[in-house]
Amino acid sequence: MPEQTVCLSIAGSDPSGGAGIQADLKTFAALGVYGAAAITAMTAQNTTGVQGVRLVDPAFVAQQVESVFDDLPVSGVKTGMLGTSAIIAAVAEAIEAQLGRTPGLRVVVDPVMVARSGDPLLDPKAVLVLRDRLLPLAHVVTPNRHEASLLTGLGPIESADDLRRTALALFELVGRRPVLVKGGQAIDGALDLLVDGHGSEYPMAIAGAPIVTRSTHGSGCTLSAAIAALLGKGHSLREACSGAKQYVYGAIEHAPGLGRGHGPLDHLWLRRIDERTRVRGGGLG
């Protein structure tokens, strides 16, 4: 029997279940991956916003990571909310150690620096530690357009040309590591741009009309977790990014409409469609 693919999320907890660790674990399960988690922060949040944050001691975050790697065959890692320069440094050190011991380990860094609204989530010192210590370890970095602008200092991304200029600059900034800059709904066709390790560019957009919805809570977390899952299963970077984007689009399209604010996605939409197909076909196996 083939070995089960295992992926680890290093991120904060969202008690409403739409983002963070909870979204990552549901994404891993939906894509056929066993999910493990190292928690960096506890938050009090829901679809309307964040009401409180309690950060985990950096040494204990690192200990969680080490415990998982000591016992499970991890092939993919994603990082999300890290919160402080001390936690970022601890996570970078732990990942660097594992990269030396785990051939083929794929690391996806979602640099949670700026909210969708544009509000900063990291102080300037933490941004520098993220840029210098963690981003160079990534197999792919997945910033939103605000985060990419902040990292490069090139100003706001408001067009496809801005997106390309910023993505190429970020690619150089992180030591020519692959980057996937997310244009989001602000750029035509929800355009993202992947720059691979050779500097080749792959625009990624969804065909057809964009979805008009409030149900986008945790979409960035979900995308990076899906990329980690697909990389962990052996897909190429381009395949993983494209497949993850399609998965997130479907999760938004099938969102349950919960909450009074930006609602959660339906992370299990693929499984539900598969179930209905199998039932119509006359069985569950």
- The sign one gets for the Cα dihedral 174, 12, 8, 91 is positive
Q: Is the pLDDT of residue 1 over 50?
A: no
pLDDT of residue 63: 98
Q: Which of 42, 115, 118, 41 is nearest to 83 (CA)?
A: 41
Q: Is 114 helix (H, G, I), strand (E, B) or coil?
A: strand
Is position 20 within any domain?
A: yes
What is the C-alpha separation between 165 and 178, in angstroms, rounded? 15
Owning domain of residue 15: 6-280
- Is the pLDDT reported for residue 276 higher than 80? no
Higher pLDDT among residues 124 and 259, named by residue: 259
Q: What is the pTM of this model?
A: 0.94
Q: Is residue 1 part of a domain?
A: no
Q: For residue 284, what are its two tokens? A: 């569950």
Render pLDDT for 44-86 as a digit per residue (tens, 0 to 9): 999 998 899 999 999 999 999 999 999 999 999 999 999 999 9
Among the listed ranges 153-162, 180-189, 227-236, which one has the minimum average pLDDT value?
180-189
176 in the Ramachandran plot: left (φ > 0), alpha (ψ -120 to 50) or beta? Answer: left
Q: Tokens 């993983």: give the residue.
A: 240
The enclosing domain of 200 has a CATH number of 3.40.1190.20
Per the prediction, the chain carries an average pLDDT of 91
Query: Among candidates 278, 259, 256, which has minimal Cα distance to 267?
Result: 256
Please count the structural domains in the chain: 1
In a domain, 271, yes or no: yes
Q: Tens digits of per-residue pLDDT, 216-235?
A: 999 999 999 999 999 999 99
SS3 of residue 200 by DSSP: coil
